[in-house]
């Protein structure tokens, strides 16, 4: 019989696609002997149910599709799997939830019975929780009258509870955990209430992001006792949410379900709804003009910093408006956000993240605080998706459903990645499948495991929303196997295997084929990783020949022409490209003045760009470009870009330099171009 440790290992293999013993050792902090022993018990289970065993080839685990499906269903249906929920992590989660949502007397005995744990275990869990809550300026206290309860600012308590729910929902089976907790301890059917919320949202034209409906449903149920009993100190009844708005009417209706009548709390829920529902630029709301202005200024600033121009700005505005409006209210009212992909976005899209963070600086001044990294990461994937060039439509054969609850921007990135890897598959995102027959899909790509996947009877693969090269290669093999019902092997190798098959029995052939697949994976995985290349640094796209000091100019047009003519002289652009810079500035206004005293003129690649390059110039006398905030211009950086992405590393680096007073000192005092190039090289070496 398998114990909890065996189940954890099995979960990693079947649901998280962890297929090497070394990775399991590292990830689970277990020995090779422990993992091998667990695999032996798994194979005994497979044998008992007439399934193929998990084989090993070196360190790699090889499992058939049929065995994988069997084990996945075994984990979900087996009562043994419930024991995983009694881990230390989930015990503490249950204590936090009950402390936050219940206002009834809560004794130590209550907790012991609820958790089915010993007295010392519960007391140790409470100690850990006290340390955790201190980070939110909250504490767990005890009195004879109330038992255990939370002490602290009501706003902080609600914030902490929401954070707990958001993190839980982004974990495997987190939704199932919350659903069971609410039904067992609060005696509320969350699915029934979710249907009421969905119906009310349709009546008042409130549209939730993909997973925000779930987040709001669970948080609202868990907070309903507090909403009935406590009033917030902060004022949430601002002009944007007076009683005539759809957000307020919707909030009033759902509050009535739990007999919440306090006007201040209804206003709080209104602000909350604005922070979890998508913005719709076609709606005439009190804040539309303000939010749209923020979005357009953000896009303009990003284009200036990144040195790109979006082909269809209105499409980008509409897409960003959907996210910026709720982000604005989350930040304004200090509502929590949880982006499980932030660290990965910062790593895989480092240049884009840096540029978006720089573009958002004026917004930070609006809120008088630094923007959360999770918000910046969400916006980063929106901008990254928008920089993909429109591609020619391809002939589609198979259909794939993409489930990615991390947000619309992340879904777009994932779909783009999948389209590039599988041009023969037509992809549909979760938001599009509501009115679509699920049975029409051939395969599902998902970033999180839900019961829905097993009810669909469609092959599914759990993927990371942002994949590294090795993950992409492994995914290609798995998808090929599902779509074509056979492993992905070089055609010549396949021909040899067909010959071998005639002269060996079935068991021998299976082992030979697995060894071939193992060797093929190792070779090709190495190749695909080696093929990836970094984008050029700033020092690689500029040079002393592209630097001009004390350039004379009497107006902005002369400043651009005289500063960037070196791009033509050095063969980086055609003369028409400089004309394109001038024309772009005339049409779009002085948006190219990206920060105090700095202009970044550029044009579309088709205007005559030949190579990626950046020219650097200081003006003899400052020149007015017409940008009230940042005039007069003293420094001109001319950009030649061939596409929307290749130059982003250099531009992210330049954005960092433009934040340093020392860089301006060098520009002002340099006697030769070599001094400026030397400073850039020194900056890069320190990075």
pLDDT at 407 over 70: no
pLDDT at 406 over 70: no
By C-alpha distance, which of 442, 433, 447 is closest to 403?
A: 447
Q: In the structure encoding, which two tokens stand for residue 531, read together?
A: 């093929």
User: Looking at residues 323-334, what average pLDDT do you find?
Assistant: 87
For 322, what's the count of Cα atoms within 13 Å in the CB-facing half-sphere?
16
For the chain, what is the mean pLDDT? 81
**Residue reference for tokens 């330099």:** 657
Per-residue confidence band for 553, with pLDDT thresholds at 50, 70 and 90: very high
The residues annotated as belonging to the active site are 602
Identify which of 606, 603, 672 has the alpha carbon closest to the alpha carbon of residue 638: 603
Of the ranges 288-302, 340-354, 514-528, 605-619, which one carries the lowest mean pLDDT score? 514-528
User: Which residues are CB-neighbours of 393 under 8 A, at least 6 positions away?
Assistant: none
- What is the Cα–Cα distance from 408 to 432, expressed in whole angstroms? 11
**Which residue's structure tokens are 């992590």?**
89
> Shortest CA distance to 136 belongs to which of 123, 151, 149, 148?
151
| Spatial separation of the C-alpha atoms in residues 309 and 304, rounded to whole Å | 8
Measured distance CA(84)–CA(292) in Å, rounded = 47
Per-residue model confidence (pLDDT) at position 668: 92
Specify the range with the lowest mean pLDDT, choosing from 193-197, 309-313, 354-358, 678-682.
309-313
The count of other CB atoms within 10 Å of the CB of residue 77 is 10
Residue 223: the pLDDT is 93
pLDDT at 394 over 70: no
Angle at 312 between CA 310 and CA 314, to 5 degrees: 110
Q: What is the percent of the chain where pLDDT is above 90? A: 22
> Is a pLDDT exceeding 70 seen at residue 529?
no
Side-chain half-sphere exposure of 245, counting CA atoms within 13 A = 23
Other C-beta atoms lying within 10 Å of the C-beta of residue 104: 10
What whole-number distance in Å separates Cα of residue 443 and Cα of residue 400?
Answer: 5
| Residue 396, pLDDT score | 47
Whether residue 609 contacts residue 642, with contact meaning beta carbons closer than 8 Å, is answered with: yes
Does the pLDDT at position 516 exceed 80? Answer: no
Position 393 scores a pLDDT of 37
pLDDT at 452: 66
- Sign for the CA dihedral angle at 602, 608, 613, 618 comes to negative
CB 564 within 8 A of CB 639: no
Contacts of 121 (CB under 8 A, 6+ apart): 91, 115
Determine what percent of the chain falls in helix, strand and coil, rounding each to the nearest 5. 60, 10, 30
Q: Which of 10-24, 74-88, 208-222 has the lowest mean pLDDT?
A: 74-88
Copy the structure tokens of residue 337. 């956000």
Angle at Cα 149 formed by Cα 144 and Cα 152, nearest 5°? 125
- Confidence category of residue 685, pLDDT binned at 50, 70, 90: confident
Residue 114 is predicted with a pLDDT of 85
What's residue 243's pLDDT? Answer: 66
Q: What's 106's DSSP letter? A: B
Q: How far are the Cα atoms of 26, 55, 355, 579 from residue 32, in angstroms, in the given order? A: 10, 15, 44, 66
- Is the pLDDT confidence value at 188 over 80? yes
* Residue 525: Cβ-neighbour burial (10 angstroms; 0-12, 13-18, 19+): middle
Distances (CA, A) of 539 to 151, 603, 654, 679: 55, 21, 10, 10
Model confidence, pTM: 0.61
- Condensed to tens digits (0 to 9), the pLDDT of residues 624-666 reads 988 888 889 999 999 998 877 778 788 888 888 888 889 999 9
Q: What number of other Cβ atoms are within 10 A of residue 109's Cβ? A: 11
Is the pLDDT reported for residue 423 higher than 90?
no
Residue bearing tokens 């890897």: 421
pLDDT class of 523 with cuts at 50, 70, 90: very low
Mean pLDDT lowest among 35-44, 47-56, 241-250, 499-508: 499-508
Higher model confidence: residue 56 or residue 82? Answer: 56
């Amino acid at each position: 019989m398998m114990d909890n440790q065996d189940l954890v290992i099995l979960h990693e293999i079947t649901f998280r696609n962890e297929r090497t013993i070394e990775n399991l050792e590292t990830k689970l902090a277990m020995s090779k002997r422990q993992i091998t022993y667990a695999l032996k018990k798994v194979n005994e289970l497979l044998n008992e149910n007439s399934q193929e065993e998990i084989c090993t080839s070196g360190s790699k685990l090889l499992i058939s599709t049929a065995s994988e499906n069997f084990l996945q269903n075994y984990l979900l249906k087996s009562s043994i799997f419930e024991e995983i929920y009694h881990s230390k992590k989930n015990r503490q989660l249950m204590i936090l939830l009950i402390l936050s949502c219940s206002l009834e007397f809560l004794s130590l005995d209550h907790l012991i019975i609820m958790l089915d744990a010993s007295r010392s275990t519960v007391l140790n869990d409470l100690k850990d929780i006290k340390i955790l809550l201190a980070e939110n300026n909250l504490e767990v206290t005890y009195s004879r009258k109330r038992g255990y309860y939370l002490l602290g600012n009501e706003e902080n308590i609600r914030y902490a509870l929401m954070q707990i729910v958001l993190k839980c929902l982004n974990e495997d089976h987190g939704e199932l955990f919350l659903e069971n907790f609410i039904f067992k301890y609060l005696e509320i059917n969350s699915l029934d209430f979710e249907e009421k919320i969905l119906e009310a949202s349709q009546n008042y034209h409130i549209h939730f992001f993909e997973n925000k409906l779930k987040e709001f449903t669970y948080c609202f149920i868990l907070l309903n006792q507090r909403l009935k009993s406590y009033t917030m100190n902060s004022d949430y009844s601002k002009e944007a949410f007076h009683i005539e708005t759809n957000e307020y009417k919707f909030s009033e209706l759902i509050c009535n379900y739990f007999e919440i009548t306090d006007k201040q709390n209804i206003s709080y829920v209104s602000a909350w709804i604005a922070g979890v529902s998508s913005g719709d630029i076609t709606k005439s709301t009190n804040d539309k003009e303000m939010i749209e202005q923020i979005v357009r200024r953000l896009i303009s600033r990003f284009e200036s910093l990144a040195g790109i121009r979006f082909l269809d700005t209105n499409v980008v505005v509409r897409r960003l408006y959907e996210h910026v409006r709720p982000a604005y209210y989350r930040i304004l009212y200090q509502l929590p956000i949880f982006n499980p992909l932030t660290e990965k976005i910062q790593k895989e899209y480092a240049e884009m993240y840096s540029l978006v963070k720089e573009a958002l600086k004026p917004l930070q001044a609006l809120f008088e605080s630094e923007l959360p990294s999770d918000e910046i990461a969400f916006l980063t994937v929106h901008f990254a998706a928008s920089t993909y060039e429109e591609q020619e439509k391809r002939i589609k054969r198979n259909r794939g459903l993409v489930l990615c609850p991390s947000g619309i921007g992340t879904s777009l990135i994932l779909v783009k990645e999948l389209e590039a890897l599988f041009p023969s598959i037509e992809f549909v995102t979760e938001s599009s499948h509501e009115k679509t027959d699920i049975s029409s899909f051939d395969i599902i790509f998902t970033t999180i495991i839900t019961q829905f996947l097993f009810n669909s009877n469609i092959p599914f693969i759990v993927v990371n929303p942002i994949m590294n090269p090795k993950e992409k290669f492994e995914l290609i093999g798995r998808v090929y196997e599902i779509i074509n019902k056979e492993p992905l092997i070089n055609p010549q190798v396949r021909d040899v295997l067909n010959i071998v098959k005639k002269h060996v029995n079935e068991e021998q052939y299976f082992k030979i084929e697995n060894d071939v697949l193992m060797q093929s994976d190792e070779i090709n995985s190495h190749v695909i990783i080696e093929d990836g290349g970094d984008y050029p640094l700033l020092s690689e796209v500029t040079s002393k020949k592209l630097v001009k000091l004390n350039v004379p100019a009497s107006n902005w047009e002369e400043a651009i022409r005289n500063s960037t003519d070196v791009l033509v002289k050095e063969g980086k652009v055609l003369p028409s490209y400089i004309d394109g810079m001038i024309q772009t500035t005339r049409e779009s206004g002085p948006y190219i003045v990206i920060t105090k005293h700095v202009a970044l003129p550029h044009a579309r690649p088709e205007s005559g760009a030949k190579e990626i390059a950046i020219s650097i110039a200081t003006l003899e006398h400052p020149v007015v470009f017409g940008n009230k905030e940042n005039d007069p211009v003293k420094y001109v950086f001319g950009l030649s870009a061939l596409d929307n992405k290749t130059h982003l590393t250099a531009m992210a680096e330049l954005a960092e330099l433009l934040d340093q007073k020392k860089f301006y000192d060098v520009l002002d005092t340099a006697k030769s171009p070599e001094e400026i190039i030397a400073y850039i090289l020194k900056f890069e070496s320190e990075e």
